[in-house]
């Protein structure tokens, strides 16, 4: 099974100059913990709720003073729509992440989340193992 078979096609994203408040509201309304940062549909980075806590709140900055490009993680791990879902699960486990932008010819076309990998019975154990590794902070 390929990533394209399980990915979410409609993905909300923010521009590099998006405010922290805008990002947090998008996370809340979509019930997600990360938001891709894109320019012309090219993924520039990703922001997690943890990034907001550590790079803004814990750093003593004001939410008004920070924008997406200030706090985004630009060391991206992405997948293509044609990659096997097992590869996606392995990447999530290896890099301790729950969501991977799906990129085709340089443009973001979707996102695949850890939960998406459990849609097929055969992938339930693999997704569970990846989640366990992520939750425990295991490194391979």
Q: Which pLDDT tens digit goes with each residue over 36-84?
A: 999 988 999 999 999 999 999 999 999 888 999 999 999 999 999 999 9
Q: Which pLDDT tens digit goes with each residue over 95-135?
A: 988 899 999 999 999 999 988 887 655 444 555 565 565 55
Spell out where 49-139 has E strands: 99-104, 107-113
Q: What's the total number of domains in the chain?
A: 1
Residues sharing a CB contact under 8 Å with residue 56, sequence separation 6 or more, in sequence order: 20, 62, 63, 66, 71
Q: What is the CATH number of the domain that holds 7?
A: 3.10.580.10
Domain that holds residue 39: 3-136
Distance separating alpha carbons of residues 107 and 120, to the nearest angstrom = 27
């Amino acid at each position: 099974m390929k990533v394209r078979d399980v990915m979410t096609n409609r993905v909300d994203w923010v521009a590099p100059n998006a405010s922290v408040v805008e990002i947090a509201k998008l996370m809340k309304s979509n019930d997600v913990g990360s938001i891709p940062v894109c320019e012309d549909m090219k993924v520039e980075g990703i922001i997690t709720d943890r990034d907001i806590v550590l790079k803004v709140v814990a750093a003593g900055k004001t939410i008004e003073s920070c924008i997406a490009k200030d706090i985004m993680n630009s060391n991206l791990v992405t997948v293509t729509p044609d990659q096997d879902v097992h590869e996606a699960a392995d990447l999530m486990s290896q890099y301790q992440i729950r969501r991977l932008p799906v990129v085709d010819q340089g443009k973001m076309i979707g996102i695949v989340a850890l939960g998406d990998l459990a849609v097929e019975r055969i992938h339930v154990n693999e997704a569970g193992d990846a989640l366990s590794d992520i939750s425990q902070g295991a490194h391979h």
